[in-house]
A and B are shown apart, each in its own frame.
Chain A
Amino acid sequence: MSRQLPLILFFILFLFCSSLLTVNAQVGPLVYKNYYVKIIILNDCSALLSYDMELENTGTVPVVPGYGLINLSSGKVVSASSSVMGRRGEAVIEGNAVRYSVWEVINPGKSIKVEVNLTVSGFLNKGILFDEFQATIGPISYPVIRGDVVVVPPAGKSIVYLSKSSLNAMKPGDIARVRGELSSIPLPLLPFSWYPVFWTAVIAVILLAFVIRRVRR
């Protein structure tokens, strides 16, 4: 139960905040043909978020996106960079947002590749033996055709629990969540969080040892 409580609180908090999270979902010709997010967690608990996007124009006239925005509802952006079609682009930190520029003309049926990298602080929540992270990706302004989120742990730690929803076929307004646990202990990857199990087992062993000793007396 103690594990579920924070999750419930987070969920309630999310519902409360969700009205603030809406993005401009005007139907338009642009779609994300590919939308891949790589989360590289660093040893200082910060993370490098790498957005690898391919924007396709499904309309009948050329378009220019102009500016793109990645807004962080929580956390702090430490640094940002971008590239458009492999060339270094503009990326400006504006408060909790990164504004990047896309001045390529996307002709009908064509697509362009945009990569935005931002380093955010406080991504990982440190524990004693287990560190946790949780992120919500989206809403995204255009539909996503293919997408995924990949988590890379820092050196010396491994992912012992990972739960994530796919970014495939995401529609504007949808969100995807990724949640996971890291540990220096070489434990196998489980479909549920390790630390309640681990520490419950430790407590059980202590209590069992105590009971056995009492019985022997």
Chain B
Amino acid sequence: MKKIATLLLVLLLLPGLINTRAASTPMPIIVKEYLNATVVTDGSGHYYCGPWNYTGYITVLNNNTGETISDIWLPVYVPSGVSIAVYSYPSYATVVQGTPPSYVSANNPSANAYWHINQLRSGDSVVLKYTYTGSGCSPLLVNETYLPYKIVNLQSSTVNVNISIKNGFSFKLGVKVKKILPADNGKEGWLNTTSNPVFISAGTPTVGGTGLSPNGKELSWTGTGAWPDNWFFLDAGATGLVKNVQIQGTPDLSEVGGYTKKIPLGTIYVYFYANQTFTGLKIGKVFAVGNANVEAKKEQSTTTPSTWYETLVFYDTSGVFKYDLFNTTIWATTGNTPDSTLITGSRNSQQTFNITQLLPSGSYTYGPFSFTYSGVPKIWGLAKFRISNDQNKGWWNYTNATYSTDSSGNSRYQVIEEIWAVNGYLVKARKEIRATSPNNYSIAIALSNIGQWMSPYVEMYDVVPLNFAPSPSATEGGMIFRPLDMLAQDANPASPPDYSLITSPTGYTKGYVWKSYPLPAPQLGFAEYFRGTGSSNSKTVTVTLADGTTRQWTVYPVDPNTINVNGTNYAKKSNITVGTGASQTTFNVTFVDDNLTSATSGGYVVVSAYGYYPNLKKKVFNPVFVRYFVYGSGNYNATNLFIVGVDPRNTLDVLAVSAPEARMSYGTSNFEIVFVIAAIAASIIAVRKR
């Protein structure tokens, strides 16, 4: 149904950004995520979600340190549904997923995957790629409603637009929005004149500010409304809304084929960032080593020759990296290999995060420790260390960095919007419910053709909710259809009631169908409610003439039989002729409410424009009007009004669907007789040849 829609393409970038700070990090771990999504919205506020997915890249970079990094363990928390693979790596390197040493896993309790890179030379990088395919709707939803959501070809229209953005992520988002209208000289279906279409109001945002560009072609929704400007923020689950953005424009469908169709109503760009990945993927504590030296020293006691002293010294020989030293072990053996017989009391070891941190060229001494041995011991030393988590002297994860600007690639979400431009008729029905006294309600329906051409027959359907019934029942609540001459099928010769069909839908007291003759266009009168009689209750109404031009009339009811238009009184059923030549149009004072008897007794006035329906050679009118009364207990809940039997694309403000339609065909040829004849012929031949 009335799928106006839109398409959207999305392209998106990341929360983890390469930024200027990453340039000074010797070993940056950079996570980027891209989102591709398709969302279809329509001007009535519905949206339809297409497929969407994330693509992520984890880059481990040796940032031109001039040194080689080795034995890199990259712990990753991989959310469900995400699969990681090696994307690129230097030819000398081995990159595998594997089981890390216990001290790596012990430091990363939330990690569920470990990638190992044996070596990474200066300037080189390893890139892992991952993907995630989502289902349902993307967590970021942009939606729009238009009022009206259909506009008429070659008529200037003002469209009220509400834009909403819902942050469906579980974390806060920084957002900026820019909406750009189609160019004046494009071929999108808008008349090629200056400032067409153009923003005439920046609307009212619930968060941040909005503003327009000097030429009225761009709307900015940012922190203050300027562009560029700061972000506005949406908490997890929050929705930001801009109401009543107004766009004025005149469609020209001849640019796009001349038929009723959707034409672009601009493009929305949504920029946003977060301080974490969209997928929830996280990098843990990275273990890697650079240049270092371990020295094991022994010293014999000068007083007791069997007493020996052992000392371990660890040197950070890197010119770049800061190290976390977390294990030092020193021991002595009787043999010439580290695993030969250990000398009792010689083994000294410590493991803790961290024993100490060492800057480049720094050192750490462990010992001296003494032990007793009568021979000459062999001393062995072992040190475990890792490159520190330091933005300037170690590894640093840029997944969580948000030091971004637009040019550095924030997430961007692009929505291409379209609106129905209708070439032909456009049926609009408006239902008004007014309480006339406790438990009594007046139901008034105005049916208009606001398009360019005459409509086909139109059927309108209204239902009465349970606990209410038309009152008085004999006349179906005094039901009138005006002009009555427009009721194509009158089920009851009396007037009132005027209707074409009574139905009994489930869940309602009853339903009414009114079948109207074709409504002419573009000429259009009005159906308006007035609070009472007299000039103090006057209204300015807009009527449309036969050439599509409009006039403003000042109207008020004088009494139940007379109205005043621009200072002149007109009796009920009299005509008002306006314009000359192509614009000449005759209007009929179709209905003046009986209740309009004083300055405080309200009622309706209907003035319809004449047209001519050549097929039946009859006069037709625009608009037509239905009014009836209901009585019941409780509050009258407004029910929907439906239009049936016309193309749903050509309806406005009412609910319409295309009619269920099915086709079937049948029939076949039976050639059995051919076989039978062949069999008989064969028999005859057989008999004769015998």
Task: Please measure, in the bound complex, the distance between the C-alpha atom of A27 and the C-alpha atom of B461, giving whole angstroms.
Answer: 22
Residues from chain B with Cβ under 8 Å of A27 in the complex = 1, 3
Nearest A residue (CB) for B503 = A103
Interface pair B668/A105, CB less than 8 Å apart:
no
Q: Does A69 contact B (CB under 8 A)?
A: yes
Given A64-B642, A203-B682 in contact, is the A74-B665 Cβ separation under 8 Å?
A: yes
Q: Does B506 contact A (CB under 8 A)?
A: yes
Mark B606-650 against chain A: 1 for CB-CB distance below 8 A, else 0.
000000000000000000000000000000000110101101110
Task: Please measure, in the bound complex, the distance between the C-alpha atom of A166 and the C-alpha atom of B577, giving whole angstroms.
Answer: 62
Residues from chain A with Cβ under 8 Å of B671 in the complex = 2-3, 5-6
Given A199-B678, A206-B682, A210-B690 in contact, is the A105-B505 Cβ separation under 8 Å?
A: yes
Interface pair B666/A30, CB less than 8 Å apart:
no
The one of A24, A61, A101 in contact with B658, judged by C-beta atoms closer than 8 angstroms, is A24
The one of A28, A62, A125 in contact with B668, judged by C-beta atoms closer than 8 angstroms, is A125
Q: Does A142 contact B (CB under 8 A)?
A: yes
Task: Please measure, in the bound complex, the distance between the C-alpha atom of A29 and the C-alpha atom of B686, giving whole angstroms.
Answer: 68
Closest Cβ of chain B: how far from A87's Cβ, in Å? 8
- The stretch that binds A, out of B15-23, B250-258, B507-515, is B507-515
Q: Which residue, of B656, B658, B665, has the highest number of chain A Cβ atoms within 10 A? A: B665
Q: Which residue, of B648, B666, B683, B689, has the highest number of chain A Cβ atoms within 10 A? A: B666
Task: Please measure, in the bound complex, the distance between the C-alpha atom of A211 and the C-alpha atom of B503, giving whole angstroms.
Answer: 76
User: 13 interchain pairs (CB within 8 A)?
Assistant: A9-B669, A10-B668, A26-B648, A59-B46, A69-B662, A72-B665, A73-B663, A103-B461, A103-B503, A135-B664, A141-B658, A199-B676, A203-B679
Q: Does A185 contact B (CB under 8 A)?
A: no
Given A6-B669, A30-B657, A66-B644 in contact, is the A128-B664 Cβ separation under 8 Å?
A: no
Q: Does A91 contact B (CB under 8 A)?
A: no
Task: Please measure, in the bound complex, the distance between the C-alpha atom of A127 and the C-alpha atom of B674, giving whole angstroms.
Answer: 10
Residues from chain A with Cβ under 8 Å of B647 in the complex = 24, 26
The one of A26, A69, A137 in contact with B649, judged by C-beta atoms closer than 8 angstroms, is A26
Task: Please measure, in the bound complex, the distance between the C-alpha atom of A206 and the C-alpha atom of B655, giving whole angstroms.
Answer: 70
Closest Cβ of chain B: how far from A78's Cβ, in Å? 14
Task: Please measure, in the bound complex, the distance between the C-alpha atom of A75 and the C-alpha atom of B665, giving whole angstroms.
Answer: 7
Q: Does B673 contact A (CB under 8 A)?
A: yes
Please report which residues of chain A, range 124-158, place their CB below 8 angstroms from some CB of chain B when the two chains form the complex: 125-142
Q: Does B294 contact A (CB under 8 A)?
A: no
Besides A53-B660, A125-B668, 9 more A-B contacts (Cβ < 8 Å) are A2-B671, A6-B669, A26-B658, A67-B659, A103-B505, A132-B669, A135-B666, A141-B658, A179-B668
Task: Please measure, in the bound complex, the distance between the C-alpha atom of A196 and the C-alpha atom of B670, giving whole angstroms.
Answer: 11
Closest Cβ of chain A: how far from B658's Cβ, in Å? 5
Task: Please measure, in the bound complex, the distance between the C-alpha atom of A23 and the C-alpha atom of B668, giving whole angstroms.
Answer: 23
Q: Does B188 contact A (CB under 8 A)?
A: no
Interface pair B672/A73, CB less than 8 Å apart:
no
Q: Does B593 contact A (CB under 8 A)?
A: no
Chain A residues bordering chain B, tally (CB within 8 A): 80
The one of A61, A134, A203, A209 in contact with B655, judged by C-beta atoms closer than 8 angstroms, is A61
Please report which residues of chain A, range 49-98, place their CB below 8 angstroms from some CB of chain B when the two chains form the complex: 49, 51, 53, 55, 59-75, 85, 87
Please give the residue numbers on chain A whose beta carbons come within 8 Å of chain B beta carbons, in ascending order. 2-3, 5-6, 9-10, 21, 23-24, 26-30, 47, 49, 51, 53, 55, 59-75, 85, 87, 101-105, 112, 114, 120, 122-123, 125-142, 179, 195-196, 198-200, 202-203, 206-207, 209-210, 213-214
Task: Please measure, in the bound complex, the distance between the C-alpha atom of A141 and the C-alpha atom of B660, giving whole angstroms.
Answer: 6
Task: Please measure, in the bound complex, the distance between the C-alpha atom of A130 and the C-alpha atom of B670, giving whole angstroms.
Answer: 9
The one of A64, A213, A214 in contact with B644, judged by C-beta atoms closer than 8 angstroms, is A64
Closest Cβ of chain B: how far from A56's Cβ, in Å? 12
Interface pair A138/B642, CB less than 8 Å apart:
no
Size category of the binding interface on chain B: 35 or more
Closest Cβ of chain B: how far from A178's Cβ, in Å? 9
Task: Please measure, in the bound complex, the distance between the C-alpha atom of A178 and the C-alpha atom of B670, giving whole angstroms.
Answer: 16
Residues from chain B with Cβ under 8 Å of A10 in the complex = 668-669
The one of A59, A131, A210 in contact with B1, judged by C-beta atoms closer than 8 angstroms, is A59
Task: Please measure, in the bound complex, the distance between the C-alpha atom of A63 and the C-alpha atom of B657, giving whole angstroms.
Answer: 7
Q: Which residue, of A10, A26, A112, has the highest number of chain B Cβ atoms within 10 A? A: A26
Nearest A residue (CB) for B649 = A26
Q: Does B667 contact A (CB under 8 A)?
A: yes
Task: Please measure, in the bound complex, the distance between the C-alpha atom of A206 and the C-alpha atom of B677, giving whole angstroms.
Answer: 13
Residues from chain A with Cβ under 8 Å of B690 in the complex = 210, 213
Task: Please measure, in the bound complex, the distance between the C-alpha atom of A213 and the C-alpha atom of B639, giving whole angstroms.
Answer: 87
Q: Does B582 contact A (CB under 8 A)?
A: no
Nearest B residue (CB) for A211 = B686
Task: Please measure, in the bound complex, the distance between the C-alpha atom of A195 and the C-alpha atom of B679, giving whole angstroms.
Answer: 12
Task: Please measure, in the bound complex, the distance between the C-alpha atom of A171 and the C-alpha atom of B511, giving whole angstroms.
Answer: 32
Please report which residues of chain B, range 474-505, place their CB below 8 angstroms from some CB of chain A when the two chains form the complex: 501, 503-505
Task: Please measure, in the bound complex, the distance between the C-alpha atom of A129 and the C-alpha atom of B38, giving whole angstroms.
Answer: 58
The 3 A-B pairs of least Cβ separation, nearest first, read A66-B644, A199-B675, A73-B665
Interface pair A2/B670, CB less than 8 Å apart:
no
The one of B3, B655, B685 in contact with A63, judged by C-beta atoms closer than 8 angstroms, is B655
Closest Cβ of chain B: how far from A117's Cβ, in Å? 13
Task: Please measure, in the bound complex, the distance between the C-alpha atom of A131 and the C-alpha atom of B668, giving whole angstroms.
Answer: 10
Interface pair B655/A62, CB less than 8 Å apart:
yes
Task: Please measure, in the bound complex, the distance between the C-alpha atom of A136 and the C-alpha atom of B667, giving whole angstroms.
Answer: 9
Interface pair B463/A105, CB less than 8 Å apart:
yes
Interface pair B675/A196, CB less than 8 Å apart:
yes
Given A85-B506, A129-B672, A130-B672 in contact, is the A66-B679 Cβ separation under 8 Å?
A: no
Closest Cβ of chain A: how far from B649's Cβ, in Å? 7
Residues from chain A with Cβ under 8 Å of B640 in the complex = 61-62, 105
Given A105-B463, A206-B686 in contact, is the A127-B645 Cβ separation under 8 Å?
A: no
Given A103-B511, A179-B668, A203-B675 in contact, is the A60-B659 Cβ separation under 8 Å?
A: no
Given A23-B663, A59-B46 in contact, is the A65-B686 Cβ separation under 8 Å?
A: no
Closest Cβ of chain A: how far from B38's Cβ, in Å? 15
Nearest A residue (CB) for B687 = A210
Interface pair B661/A127, CB less than 8 Å apart:
no
Please report which residues of chain B, range 1-59, place their CB below 8 angstroms from some CB of chain A when the two chains form the complex: 1-3, 45-46
The one of B2, B659, B668 in contact with A6, judged by C-beta atoms closer than 8 angstroms, is B668
Q: Which residue, of A60, A70, A135, A203, has the highest number of chain B Cβ atoms within 10 A? A: A203
Given A128-B676, A142-B660 in contact, is the A136-B666 Cβ separation under 8 Å?
A: yes
